[in-house]
Amino acid sequence: MKTKNKLLLFFFAFAFSTQVSAINVSLTHSHFQSEQGSYVEVYVRIAGNSIEYKLMEDSLSQASVLGLILIKKDDEIISIDKFNMEGPVGKSRNDFWGKRTYKLDPGIYKMEYTFSDEFDAQNTINEQRTIKVDEKDTQGVYSSDIMLLAKVEAEADLPFGKYGLKFEPLAYDIVTPESESLIFNWELYGLKSIGEELFVSMTVYDGFSGEFGKKLLQKHKPLKDANMQVVMEDISIMDLSSGQYHLTLEVYNRERKQIHYREKNFAMVQPVSDVRLSATFDKEFENSFVGIMTEEEVEYSLRALNSQLQGNMVETLNSALASGDLEAKKYLLYSYWSKVTPDQPGKAHDAYMKVIRAVDDEFGSHFGHGFETDRGHLFMKYGRPNDMIKVVDEVNAPPYEIWIYYDFPTTQQSNVKFLFYNPSLSGDDFILLHSNCTAELQNKQWEQVLYEDAVSEKLGNTIDGVQMQDNFNRKARRYFNDN
């Protein structure tokens, strides 16, 4: 259990750090055989939220990454591959993929790779790994690497295709909460040379390769009498908790003699399973305040916690809400308030919910609960502002509000301001446009967005401009900059 906890902490620390500092690149490789010889496919995923975007026309933007892959054998450079990966043009920051293919003879290689954000030269990673390409066994069975996949569908908008299927490689070999199965692809060659009936055993063990792990899951299937067979399978992992595992694939005959064998390490982050398993061993939970709560009440209380959670707990909350597992939801709610107030978690929960209902009434809209709106969320996160400016009748601007906090211990700032606006003009549908808080949204073009109807009065071009022409009736900039 200690190993699993360390892994979970490492994963979330890694995921968080890559989002706020370095370019986030997942590189997956697998070697295969063809009639023309052996080759290695390299799949690259760029996390859209880890790089800069170039603003284009019509408020669209695009990212671009420069890649360099060197393949060496005994310190001799075998291949130099320089390429550019461009993300899709759009308004959102989505992940994007690329594939590189290298024809390599059997042997052991070192692959060194560098990826750089074209619009932020300092945002660069340099890493390396070892690649092994096996000899072709002309007298027996041999195989490709085991390739782990996140999704496989016959007809889907997925990045890659093979065997008439579309697929997405599993980033970092980490199974994430939205996955219900471990999906893998394995190519087997030379089956016909054996001349007898063969089977494949697929087994998941606890721990990485080399550890004496417990057998957890297993399935079997017969193999075809063919020169090459694709083993594209999935194994349900819903009952596994977060931790380290390895998958073994074994080809054997009717006498259970092993003909061929491969294994692959993977990790899992499954917070709902973790919560459910914890509930099983917590006796106080059974008689706690959540016992008489309905599922609707539990979900409402959990959603109300969103502004109070940080890091991996946000992911755990979202996974629990999406799971449909009532016991896991109840235990998550109980465990949170037990940590906040161990002696009286029920009273602490009830007191908090009184505040939540008041916030719900004040900021509620037809788009959701009041505490889930931008204003309600920040109110619960930082408290009531010291001052509030409301503007509802300014020319060329929708209604907007500026909240002011004189002292802001969260970021050790003073005179922190948040600007909310209502572009839809629909009831209380205010959204956060800009703030000077270092931990929240900052939009350097906020003024041009707020006054977008005054097109002729924008300063600078439509892509890089940040301010409007000043006039007596245009007050937002003065309000925001007033100390």
Rounding to the nearest 10 degrees, give the CA dihedral for residues 384, 390, 392, 397. -100
The CA distance from 272 to 79, in Å, is: 44
Question: Lowest-pLDDT range, 25-39, 279-293, 456-470?
Answer: 456-470
> Which of 217, 182, 221 shows the shortest CA–CA distance to 203?
217
Select from 100, 249, 239 the least CA-distant residue to 187.
249
- Is residue 380 a part of any domain in this protein? no
Rounded percentage of the chain residues whose pLDDT exceeds 90 = 57
- pLDDT of the residue at 460: 81
Do residue 98 and residue 194 come from a single domain? no
Indicate which CATH number applies to the domain containing 63.
2.60.40.10
Average pLDDT over residues 169-183: 88
227 and 282 assigned to the same domain:
no
Beta pairing class for 258-268 and 54-55: unpaired
**Alpha-carbon span 89 to 92, nearest angstrom:** 9
Let me know whether 304 and 281 are in one domain. Answer: yes
- Is 157 found in the same domain as 232? yes
| Residue 76 pLDDT exceeds 70 | yes
Asked whether the beta carbons of 92 and 44 are under 8 A apart, the reply is no
pLDDT of residue 7: 39
Domain with 38, as residue range(s), is: 1-134
> What's the domain count of the chain?
4
pLDDT for the residue numbered 311: 65
Of 242, 269, 296, the one marking the end of a domain is 269
pLDDT range class, residue 467, cuts 50, 70, 90: confident
| Residue in the structure block whose two tokens are 């398993």 | 277
Checking if the pLDDT of 15 tops 70, the result is no
Mean pLDDT of the chain: 88
Higher pLDDT, 11 or 49: 49
**The pLDDT value given to residue 1:** 38
Instruction: Give domain status of residue 253, yes or no.
Output: yes
| Mean pLDDT computed over 392-402 | 93
pLDDT per position as a tens digit, 307-334: 888 766 787 888 888 878 898 889 999 9
The domain boundary residue, chosen from 227, 251, 269: 269
Residues 100 and 228 in one domain: no
pLDDT at 13: 39
Which residue has better confidence, 74 or 121?
Answer: 74
Which domain CATH number covers 251?
Answer: 2.60.40.2550
Residue after which a domain boundary falls, among 354, 375, 396: 375
Cβ(103)–Cβ(38) under 8 Å?
yes
Phi-psi region of 436 (alpha: psi -120 to 50; beta: other; left: phi over 0): alpha
| Token pair recorded at residue 365 | 């809209």
Instruction: For residues 148 and 121, state if they share a domain.
Output: no
Which stretch of 5-19, 266-280, 291-305 has the lowest confidence by average pLDDT?
A: 5-19
Residue 170 pLDDT greater than 50, yes or no:
yes
Rounded distance between C-alpha atoms, residue 174 and residue 158, angstroms = 18
Q: What is the predicted pLDDT for the residue at 233?
A: 95
| Shared domain check, 100 and 22 | yes
Q: Is residue 401 part of a domain?
A: yes
Residues 225, 305: one domain? no
Would you tell me the crossing angle of helices 295-303 and 312-323 to the nearest 10 degrees? 160
Q: Does 12 fall in a domain?
A: yes
Question: In this model, does residue 396 exceed pLDDT 70?
Answer: yes
Backbone angles phi, psi at 185, to 5 degrees: -125, 135
What are the CA-CA distances from residue 326 to residues 193, 213, 392 (Å)?
53, 31, 44
Q: Is residue 264 part of a domain?
A: yes
62 and 5 housed in the same domain:
yes
Residues 248 and 304 in one domain: no
pLDDT above 80: residue 464: no
The reply to whether 317 and 394 lie within a common domain is no
3-state secondary structure of 82: strand
Give the percent of the chain with pLDDT over 70. Answer: 94
In a shared domain, residues 130 and 215? no
